Structure formats: structure tokens, C-alpha cells
């Protein structure tokens, strides 16, 4: 009996998928070349340029969206939204939606960014004559542009970095000269974006000054640190001053008030992605990293996350992973997002398995409010096990994850987006190596594993836990290492206490 039930379930699922693909094929047959071009433009934030250029039909685009798990029979809303934006309301019936239903659901379920929506709306109002005038005005700076449509014109401006989500000056000037009535749409977008940004600001200058007075040891008074932070980026640097302060956390009077802890009671905890690079094209093999990856998998599954481990990730594969999770529909129902990187590195950047150097800031920028609306107002935690400086001579079983040291270091504040709800946990302070045992894994990840295991059941928040990690790693020797969190969190991140237990404590002695 039970085996019969199991045998029917896959068939039912296969049947549902087949029906869904049939519906997509019916939609494809009703979309012409111009609609395919519109789909390509609207999907630029979800699918890479390279794949979009290869797409010859709507079905090709649907296939790419399904591959990234952005479109499936259980959740077709992204395509529903795209058809609605394109005013293809008659096709919504194939997905069992009406125009009125979509309009009601968009405020909470929309996936296409306001920026992409704006450009599409503008393109609809730029007729062929106006387009010729705009091209004429830009002939000096874009002499080789070929733009048969308004969409391809705007796409070309994006590709040439003439316009982007934070700078529409050029487009605004063009509209002022050719289509003045469109300026209002741009101004409306800028106002809404500014209002949204203000809502997400971490702390006001007065808030930071209060913390500075209460915890002066967190704000070293020298150039390039927190001294000028309020005027720069509202980023809090937690540095080596934490060493030996394992009980320290931001516990001012306001910490006991309601609303100072991030919500952790949605449908699921969220996703934890682990980039685990052991083998490289020409760089040294990182023995011991698989121990780290397994520990991260165990502890974050224990905390309720869906863990996705990717091994030996190339630059291209990393971009695909980032795109997938940037647009993942399940973020809307999740509490948090975690992204871990185990690899070689140097200050402010990490290496892919094919030896490409990728800035940490570039990785984190995929999850800003603009790029990833599903994670707005939710904590986004990044943990990087990689060197941030020069190699040093080490003993037989201790290695350094450092490549090509830099003598002039940029500001660490530039590593994370200038908006709220981010935490970047670096395994070492700028300019120094990060140690990894060839059998037992890295000092930092093993300490993080053990302290999450020990302190989450005690109700400790993530910053207190990372402080304890600092204290633990900083006491090791004879060679020294001290981790460094950088964060723009507005509230405490406190994980609910899991009911089950983790395996015995992992040994981290070199």
C-alpha cells in the first residue's frame, strides 16, 4: 500500500509540471517578437545578459526563470507580474489570475524592481521621433549606438553605465529636452527611493553618539575608523577592542524596548548559502575547508535554515548563485539570510575557484533593498573565512588563506552596502592572515560553530556571540588572529532556541 502511494506521487507532480509547461507554451504562442524584447528587458535583474541575448523566444526566458527557481507551477507570480506590466492581461487566465487579483497582490508580492518598472514605463512613452532626438543629443558620447527601439536604447545606456539605479541624471536631462512630461515620473521615483532609504537608515547621528558615549572602546579615535562614521556611512566597526569582552553587547536602556529584536517567526528561517572552495586553477589547495563546510551545514540546519553548499565555485557559477538568491521568491516568507564564503582572499575581496578576485562588496550588493526586496528589513549575515592581508611563515599543519598582499588598504566600510540590516563577519582584521588547520578546519569557523551551539540556547544575540568568537580566536597562539564584525544591524539578531541537540563540541586545537 505505502509503496503504491509513493509511486503515484511523482506521477502527479510530473503531471502538474507538464500542465504548467503547456500553459507556458500557450502564453508563448501569444507573444510576438516585441513582447519577447519586453520580457528580456524586464528580466535583466533576474537573468544574466549573456543568457538573455541567446533567448529567441518567450519559452527560452521561461526556461531560464524555472532553472533559477523563480518560476514554477506552485508559484507563477513573477510571470503573472511581467504579463501585467506588459498589459497582456488576457493571458493571465492561463495562470489562473485576473487583472484585479494581480493589482491587489502586487504591493506585497511584486518582484520587479521600481527601477526596472520606471525604465519600462518611460520606454512606452518614447515614440520613434522622440527616440531619434535623444540619440541625436547623445551622438558625441555614443557614436556607435544602434537603437531600433526605446527599450534597446535604455538597455544600451545601462550597459554603458550611463544610467543605473542610483543615477538617472542623463535620462532626466534627455527627457527635459525631448519629453518634459516624463520628468515627473523620474522625480516621483527619486522621491520614493529617498523615502525608502530614510526608512532603512541604521542610526541617526544622535543614536550613534549615545552609543559612543556608553561604549567608547568601540570607537577608536584615529583617522579612517568610527570617528567620522555618522557623516560617512553609518557603519559600526567592531574591532580588536572586543578582545576579552565576551559578555559585551549593545545593551543600552533602549534595548529592552519592544521592536529591538528582528522577527524570527515567519514560515521558515531562511536560506544559508555556503561557498566552499578547496581546489583552484593555480592557487594552493585549501585542505581542511570541508570540515568547516560541514560544521556550517550542521549548525545552520540546526538553527532552522535551508543550507545550500556549493563546492569549488567559479566566478561564473558564483554569479549564478548570487542571481538565484537575489531573486529567490521564498525570501518573502523567511526571517533571515546567511551567506558564507570559505576560500582564499586578500583585503576586501575573495578568490573564486578559477582564481578570479571578487570584491566582497560586489557579493553583498546583490542583497540590498533595491536588488532584493524580499529581504527588506531582515538581517543579512555574511561570514567570510579568507585572509585579509599578507602571508606569513607558518608551521606544518597551519596554513594562511592569503594571496597577493596589498600594502595600501581601502576602507573596510566600503565592503558592505550603505544601508541597514547587514552584518559582515570577517575571520581576521585588515592586513592579517586567517589560519586554517589542514585537518580540523579554520580557527574562525570552528569557533563560530561552537559558540553558536553554546550561546544560542542561552538567548545571546549574534553580536554577543561574535564577541565571544573574537575572544576565543584571539587567545590562540603562538600566532595571533582576531576576527572583525562590520555591521549595520538596527536590532538584535536572536535565533529561537532549537529543540534538537547538535553533535558533541568540535575540537579546534591545532
Q: Which phi and psi angles does 482 have, rounded to 5°?
A: -135, 120
Residue in the structure block whose three cell numbers are 555614443: 142
Q: Is the model's pLDDT at 138 over the cut of 70?
A: yes
117 compared with 439, residue with greater pLDDT: 117
Q: Which of 32-41, 133-142, 427-436: highest mean pLDDT?
A: 32-41
Q: What integer is the mean pLDDT of 351-359?
A: 90
What's residue 158's pLDDT?
Answer: 86
CA 222 to chain centre: 31
What's residue 390's pLDDT?
Answer: 52
Q: Which CATH number fits domain 2-112: 1.10.533.10, 1.10.760.10, 1.10.8.420, 1.10.3720.10?
A: 1.10.533.10
What's residue 169's pLDDT?
Answer: 92
pLDDT tens for each residue of 77-88: 999 999 999 999
Residue in the structure block whose three cell numbers are 495562470: 95
Question: Cβ of 114: how many Cβ atoms within 10 Å?
Answer: 16
Q: How many angstroms separate the CA atoms of 232 and 225, rounded?
A: 10
Residues above pLDDT 90, as percent of the chain: 43
Q: Is the model's pLDDT at 413 over the cut of 70?
A: no
Confidence of residue 408 (pLDDT cuts 50, 70, 90): very low
What's residue 320's pLDDT?
Answer: 95
Q: Is the model's pLDDT at 240 over the cut of 80?
A: no
- Which of 303-312, 331-340, 349-358 is predicted least confidently? 349-358
pLDDT tens for each residue of 328-344: 999 999 999 999 999 88
Contacts of 324 (CB under 8 A, 6+ apart): 68, 69, 70
Q: Is the model's pLDDT at 472 over the cut of 60?
A: yes
Q: How many angstroms separate the CA atoms of 298 and 305, rounded?
A: 10
Q: Is the model's pLDDT at 235 over the cut of 50?
A: no
Q: Which phi and psi angles does 188 have, rounded to 5°?
A: -65, -45
What's residue 277's pLDDT?
Answer: 93
Q: What integer is the mean pLDDT of 157-179?
A: 90
Q: Is the model's pLDDT at 414 over the cut of 70?
A: no
Q: What integer is the mean pLDDT of 173-179?
A: 94
Q: Is the model's pLDDT at 257 over the cut of 50?
A: no
Catalytic residue among 328, 344, 437, 451: 344
Q: Is the model's pLDDT at 145 over the cut of 70?
A: no
Q: What integer is the mean pLDDT of 158-175?
A: 89
What's residue 291's pLDDT?
Answer: 87
Q: What integer is the mean pLDDT of 350-360?
A: 90
Q: What integer is the mean pLDDT of 383-410?
A: 51
Catalytic residue among 336, 366, 387, 437: 387
For residue 80, the surrounding DSSP H or E stretch is: helix 77-85
What's residue 344's pLDDT?
Answer: 86
- Determine whether 387 is an active site residue: yes
Q: Is the model's pLDDT at 322 over the cut of 90?
A: yes
CATH superfamily of 117-200: Death Domain, Fas (1.10.533.10)
Q: How many angstroms separate the CA atoms of 268 and 334, rounded?
A: 5
Q: How many angstroms separate the CA atoms of 338 and 422, rounded?
A: 10
pLDDT tens for each residue of 44-91: 989 888 888 899 999 999 999 998 888 988 889 999 999 999 999 999
What's residue 156's pLDDT?
Answer: 86
> What is the CATH code of the structural domain delimited by 226-487?
3.40.50.1460
What's residue 398's pLDDT?
Answer: 47
Q: Is the model's pLDDT at 130 over the cut of 90?
A: yes
CA 102 to chain centre: 27
- Determine whether 43 is an active site residue: no
What's residue 285's pLDDT?
Answer: 86
Q: What integer is the mean pLDDT of 189-200?
A: 78
474 compared with 443, residue with greater pLDDT: 443
What's residue 445's pLDDT?
Answer: 87
CA 34 to chain centre: 32
Q: Which of 194-208, 310-324, 336-350: highest mean pLDDT?
A: 310-324
Confidence of residue 20 (pLDDT cuts 50, 70, 90): very high
- Please give the grid coordinates belonging to residue 148: 531600433
Decide if 117-200 and 226-487 have a common fold: no
Q: Is the model's pLDDT at 258 over the cut of 80?
A: no
Q: Domain segments of the chain: what residues?
A: 2-112, 117-200, 226-487
What's residue 114's pLDDT?
Answer: 93
Q: How many angstroms separate the CA atoms of 323 and 46, rounded?
A: 6
Q: What's the mean per-residue pLDDT of the chain? A: 78
Q: What integer is the mean pLDDT of 21-39?
A: 94
Amino acid at each position: 500500500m505505502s509503496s503504491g502511494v509513493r509511486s503515484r506521487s511523482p506521477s502527479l507532480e510530473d503531471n502538474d509540471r507538464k500542465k504548467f509547461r503547456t500553459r507556458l507554451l500557450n502564453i508563448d504562442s501569444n507573444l510576438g517578437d516585441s513582447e519577447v524584447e519586453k520580457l528580456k528587458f524586464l528580466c535583466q535583474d533576474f537573468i544574466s545578459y549573456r543568457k538573455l541575448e541567446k533567448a529567441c523566444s518567450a519559452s527560452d526566458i521561461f526556461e531560464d526563470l524555472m532553472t533559477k527557481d523563480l518560476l514554477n507551477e506552485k508559484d507563477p507570480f513573477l510571470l503573472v507580474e511581467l504579463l501585467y506590466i506588459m498589459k497582456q492581461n488576457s493571458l493571465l487566465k492561463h495562470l489562473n489570475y485576473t487583472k484585479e487579483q494581480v493589482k491587489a497582490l502586487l504591493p506585497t508580492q511584486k518582484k520587479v524592481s521600481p527601477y526596472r518598472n520606471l525604465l519600462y514605463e518611460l520606454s512606452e512613452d518614447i515614440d520613434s521621433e522622440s527616440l531619434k532626438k535623444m540619440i541625436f543629443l547623445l551622438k558625441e558620447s555614443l557614436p556607435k549606438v544602434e537603437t531600433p527601439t526605446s527599450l534597446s536604447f535604455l538597455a544600451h545606456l545601462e550597459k554603458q553605465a550611463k544610467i543605473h539605479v542610483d543615477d538617472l541624471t542623463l535620462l532626466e536631462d534627455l527627457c527635459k529636452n525631448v519629453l518634459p512630461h516624463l520628468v515627473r515620473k523620474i522625480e516621483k521615483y527619486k522621491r520614493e527611493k529617498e523615502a525608502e532609504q530614510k526608512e532603512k537608515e541604521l542610526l541617526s547621528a544622535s543614536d550613534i553618539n549615545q552609543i559612543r558615549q556608553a561604549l567608547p572602546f568601540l570607537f577608536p579615535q584615529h583617522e579612517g575608523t568610527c570617528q567620522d562614521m555618522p557623516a560617512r556611512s553609518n557603519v559600526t566597526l567592531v574591532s580588536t577592542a572586543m578582545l576579552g569582552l565576551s559578555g559585551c553587547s549593545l545593551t543600552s536602556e533602549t534595548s529592552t524596548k519592544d521592536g529591538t529584536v528582528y522577527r524570527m517567526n515567519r514560515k521558515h528561517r531562511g536560506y544559508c548559502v555556503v561557498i566552499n572552495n578547496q581546489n583552484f586553477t593555480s592557487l594552493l589547495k585549501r585542505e581542511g575547508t570541508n570540515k568547516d563546510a560541514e560544521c556550517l551545514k550542521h549548525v545552520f540546519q540546526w538553527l532552522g535554515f535551508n543550507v545550500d553548499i556549493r563546492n569549488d565555485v567559479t566566478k561564473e557559477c558564483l554569479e549564478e548563485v548570487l542571481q538565484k538568491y537575489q531573486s529567490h521568491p521564498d525570501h518573502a516568507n523567511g526571517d533571515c539570510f546567511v551567506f558564507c564564503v570559505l576560500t582564499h582572499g586578500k583585503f576586501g575581496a575573495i578568490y573564486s575557484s578559477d582564481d578570479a578576485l571578487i570584491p566582497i562588496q560586489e557579493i553583498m550588493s546583490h542583497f540590498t533593498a533595491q536588488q532584493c526586496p524580499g529581504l527588506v528589513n531582515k538581517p543579512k549575515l555574511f561570514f567570510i573565512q579568507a585572509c585579509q592581508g599578507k602571508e606569513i611563515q607558518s608551521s606544518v599543519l597551519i596554513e594562511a588563506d592569503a594571496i597577493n598582499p596589498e600594502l595600501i588598504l581601502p576602507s573596510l566600510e566600503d565592503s558592505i552596502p550603505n544601508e541597514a540590516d547587514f552584518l559582515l563577519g570577517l575571520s581576521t582584521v585588515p592586513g592579517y592572515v586567517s589560519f586554517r588547520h589542514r585537518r580540523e578546519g579554520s580557527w574562525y569557523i570552528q569557533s563560530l560553530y561552537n559558540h553558536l551551539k553554546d550561546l544560542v540556547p542561552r538567548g545571546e544575540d549574534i553580536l554577543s556571540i561574535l564577541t565571544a568568537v573574537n575572544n576565543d580566536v584571539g587567545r590562540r597562539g603562538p600566532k595571533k588572529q582576531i576576527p572583525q564584525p562590520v555591521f549595520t544591524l538596527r536590532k538584535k539578531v536572536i535565533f529561537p532556541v532549537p529543540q534538537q541537540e547538535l553533535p558533541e563540541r568540535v575540537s579546534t586545537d591545532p
